[in-house]
């Protein structure tokens, strides 16, 4: 694995990053109480207030657990790093498919392109970005002029999550020179560099992809070696660990597993030809599980008509790291389109001398393994069929008009999501928005708790037919200001969720869980992964993505904002009678339009054509 020394060499600013702060116990308890107040009745809140007071009192459980964290923070630059990776991911036994992995949808090309040409362009863009990373030329990301931690970028290529009984592990072969290409249940090793160490050019990559397709599509009726072993990575982790261990008893399977697990990344050449963003999203998140190796840091997906999607693993890096890398790759691809489209759209040539041909991996599939593959295929089909995914391409306005109303686009959308949920369900629920902790050494994320007394007041004001536009707009601005304060606390390392999780883990290690973690308010406010509305902003980009809901009766909402439009994805579970992605999309659309109309009516922004 790549450790801090490598990221320090590639990004010298790492050395100056402050350690992750450990919030004061009293501060976290106060913020926790503030976050639960809008979600509880007066009687429930009074009870929770007493529970928290007992936890935080001098000599109480909270003080004892805080001492454990203080000792950890004294010796580690990021006291939460290992615990977060273990608790949030590696010890999770659920499936990677749908539950952990997320999807991405890349922008359309804008012209006709074949799958060979598109796949080669994607590979070329990724490899150019990797070269920038290796040479220390990847742009340093900043927030308001301050450097952000770049360590995660060194954990993308060659990274695999390896299943284990009870707990997984991460293994990385960062020096690998190949990718794994999956097609129709077959897996190929494709060398991305020439024997002299130079990365292949676009024309060579086209030839390599063409050869993969020729072999894969000429082998449709040969089943002996083509059982889709990749589908095993979609099963629960303990089951996959057992199957993988048994597979490795075969030297053939062990060698093939090593090729896939040491690959820089995976590329899926899908046979489908999705006609819309909705279909690309559906196939990228769900599909049939056959040709995605869910353990890899990411699987780029190129469809038969040249559209491009993504399925990515969450353990080693956060989604925004992958989004940033692909945004950089998209710049390379855009440059190719602008400056040398004839090469991009050329017909593939035969492989030139000295280029290693793609190698189809061999698998020894006995009867028990075949049954395991059949069972995994049935299970992932059942799982994916339960996901209700809807994409909303919102074209009425974008970030430009929101800024024109003197409101922050993200805060505006967060309040729109609150209004949309309330209109559907008649209440506000615990809401998670991803906030970054990358201002600190090896920082990952913390939670911006969207629901506040001010956000609830805004929602109620909007639903009160007697309220004036002026009072509604005033409530919106107050709610956005409060959300900004919540975000600032997270950005400064003073969020309450990761601190509470650390206290909970310390309690588990001690063998006794305090009442604060068993109190109703803890779950009701989202603790323990119980956010009924889980949201994430992927920024101002044409690329967007999504993920499954956190709870059985929740929604997953992801969005990206452009100047004049926005993209949303909404997920829910079909077996839940209370939630419905179609209805949520309609409610989000109504809420956005009504809120912008409110801004226009109050003459705070230029008139829009809604």
Instruction: Say whether 265 sits in a helix, a strand or coil.
Output: coil
Q: Percent of the chain, pLDDT > 70?
A: 96
State mean pLDDT over 347-369: 93
Residue 609, pLDDT above cutoff 50: no
pLDDT at 224 over 80: no
Domains of the chain: 96-134+184-385 (3.30.559.70), 388-494+532-601 (3.30.559.10)
pLDDT at 10: 76
How far, in whole angstroms, is CA 36 from its chain's centroid? 26
Q: How confident is the model at residue 364 (pLDDT cuts 50, 70, 90)?
A: very high
What count of other Cβ atoms lies within 10 Å of the Cβ of residue 398?
19
Instruction: Identify the DSSP state of 149.
Output: P
Identify which of 264, 28, 14, 218 has the alpha carbon closest to the alpha carbon of residue 126: 264
Give Dmax over CA atoms of the chain in angstroms.
78
Q: Which tens digit of pLDDT belongs to each residue from 242-258?
A: 999 999 999 999 999 99
The reported pLDDT for the residue numbered 2 is 40
- CA atoms of 309 and 299, how far apart (whole Å): 9
Other beta carbons within 10 angstroms of residue 526's beta carbon come to 27
* Residue of 549, 465, 534 whose CA lies nearest to 497: 534
Query: What is the band of 225 on the pLDDT scale with cuts at 50, 70, 90?
Result: very low
| HSE-CB for 326 with a 13 A CA cutoff | 28
More confident residue, 289 or 301: 301
User: With contact defined as beta carbons under 8 Å apart, do 328 and 341 qualify?
Assistant: no
Q: Which of 313, 321, 388, 391 is nearest to 558 (CA)?
A: 391
Can you tell me the mean pLDDT for 286-309? Answer: 97
The whole-number pLDDT of residue 196 equals: 84
- Condensed to tens digits (0 to 9), the pLDDT of residues 4-40 reads 456 666 788 888 999 999 999 999 999 999 999 999 9
314 has catalytic annotation: yes
Whole-angstrom distance, CA of residue 528 vs CA of residue 556 = 16
> Please, what is the average pLDDT of the chain?
95
559, containing H or E segment: strand 555-561
Q: What does the pLDDT average to over 594-603?
A: 89
For the segment 382-418, what is each residue's pLDDT rounded down to a tens digit? 999 999 999 999 999 999 999 999 999 999 999 999 9
- What one-character-per-residue DSSP string does 418-464 give? HHHHHHHHSS---EEEEEE-TTSTT--EEEEE---HHHHHHHHHHH-
Q: What is the pTM (predicted TM-score) of this model? A: 0.95
Check residue 604 and give its pLDDT. 46
According to DSSP, residue 88 is labeled I
Q: Say which of 314, 388, 483, 499 is annotated catalytic.
A: 314
The pLDDT value recorded for residue 602 is 74
What is the pLDDT confidence band of residue 221, given thresholds at 50, 70 and 90? low
Over range 358-366, report the average pLDDT. Answer: 97
Read off φ and ψ for residue 179, nearest 5 degrees: -120, 165
What's the pLDDT score for residue 610?
40
What pLDDT score was predicted for residue 606?
45
1 pLDDT band, cuts 50/70/90, is very low
Residue 5 is predicted with a pLDDT of: 56
Question: What's the confidence (pLDDT) of residue 150?
Answer: 96
Phi, psi torsion values for 497, nearest 5 degrees:
-70, -50
Is residue 352 scored above 90 in pLDDT?
A: no
């Amino acid at each position: 694995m790549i450790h801090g020394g490598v990221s320090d060499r590639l990004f010298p600013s790492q050395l100056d990053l402050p350690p992750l702060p450990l919030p004061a116990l009293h501060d976290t308890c106060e913020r926790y109480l503030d976050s639960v107040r809008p979600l509880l009745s007066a009687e429930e809140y009074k009870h929770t207030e007493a529970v928290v007071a007992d936890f935080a009192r001098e000599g109480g459980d909270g003080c004892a657990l805080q001492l454990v964290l203080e000792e950890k923070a004294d010796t580690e630059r990021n006291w939460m790093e290992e615990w977060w990776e273990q608790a949030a991911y590696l010890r999770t036994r659920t499936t990677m498919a749908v539950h952990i992995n997320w999807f991405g949808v890349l922008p359309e090309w804008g012209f006709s392109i074949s799958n060979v040409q598109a796949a080669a362009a994607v590979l070329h863009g990724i490899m150019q970005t990797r070269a920038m990373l290796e040479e220390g030329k990847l742009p340093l990301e900043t927030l308001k002029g301050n450097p952000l931690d770049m360590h995660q970028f060194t954990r993308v290529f060659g990274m695999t999550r390896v299943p284990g009984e009870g707990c997984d592990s991460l293994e990385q072969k960062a020096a690998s020179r190949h990718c794994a290409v999956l097609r129709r249940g077959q897996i190929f090793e494709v060398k991305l560099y020439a024997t002299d160490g130079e990365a292949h050019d676009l024309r060579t990559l086209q030839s390599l992809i063409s050869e993969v397709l020729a072999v894969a599509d000429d082998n449709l009726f040969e089943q002996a070696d083509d059982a889709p072993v990749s589908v095993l990575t979609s099963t629960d982790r303990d089951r996959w660990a057992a199957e993988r261990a048994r597979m490795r008893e075969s030297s053939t399977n062990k060698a093939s597993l090593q090729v896939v697990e040491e690959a820089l990344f995976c590329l899926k050449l899908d046979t489908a030809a999705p006609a819309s963003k909705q279909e690309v999203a559906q196939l990228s998140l769900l599909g049939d599980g056959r040709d995605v190796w869910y353990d890899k840091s990411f699987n780029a997906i190129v469809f038969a008509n040249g559209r491009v999607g993504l399925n990515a693993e969450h353990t080693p890096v956060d989604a925004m790291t992958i989004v940033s890398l692909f945004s950089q790759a998209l710049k390379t691809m855009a440059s190719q389109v602008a400056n040398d489209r004839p090469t991009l759209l050329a017909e593939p040539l035969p492989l030139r001398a000295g280029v290693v041909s793609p190698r189809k991996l061999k698998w020894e599939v006995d009867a028990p393994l075949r049954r395991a593959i059949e069972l995994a295929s049935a299970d992932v089909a059942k799982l994916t069929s339960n996901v209700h995914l809807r994409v909303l391409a919102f074209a009425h306005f974008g970030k430009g008009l929101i800024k024109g109303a003197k409101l922050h686009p993200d805060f505006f959308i967060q309040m729109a999501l609150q209004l949309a949920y309330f209109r559907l369900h008649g209440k506000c629920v615990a809401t998670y928005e991803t906030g970054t902790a990358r201002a600190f050494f090896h920082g990952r994320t913390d939670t911006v708790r969207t629901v506040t007394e001010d956000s609830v007041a805004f929602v109620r004001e909007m639903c009160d037919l007697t309220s004036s536009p002026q009072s509604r707009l005033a409530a919106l601005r107050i709610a956005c200001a409060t959300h900004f304060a919540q975000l600032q606390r997270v950005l400064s390392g003073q969020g309450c969720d990761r601190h509470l999780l650390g206290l909970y883990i310390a309690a588990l290690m001690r063998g006794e869980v305090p009442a604060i973690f068993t109190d109703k308010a803890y779950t009701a406010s989202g603790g323990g992964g119980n956010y009924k509305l889980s949201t994430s902003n992927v920024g101002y980009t044409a690329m967007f993505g999504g993920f499954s809901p956190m709870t059985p009766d929740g929604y997953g909402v992801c969005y990206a904002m452009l100047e004049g439009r926005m993209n949303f994805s909404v997920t829910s579970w079909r077996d839940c009678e209370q939630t419905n992605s179609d209805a949520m999309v309609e409610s989000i659309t109504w809420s956005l339009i009504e809120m912008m109309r409110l801004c226009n009516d109050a003459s705070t922004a230029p008139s829009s054509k809604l």
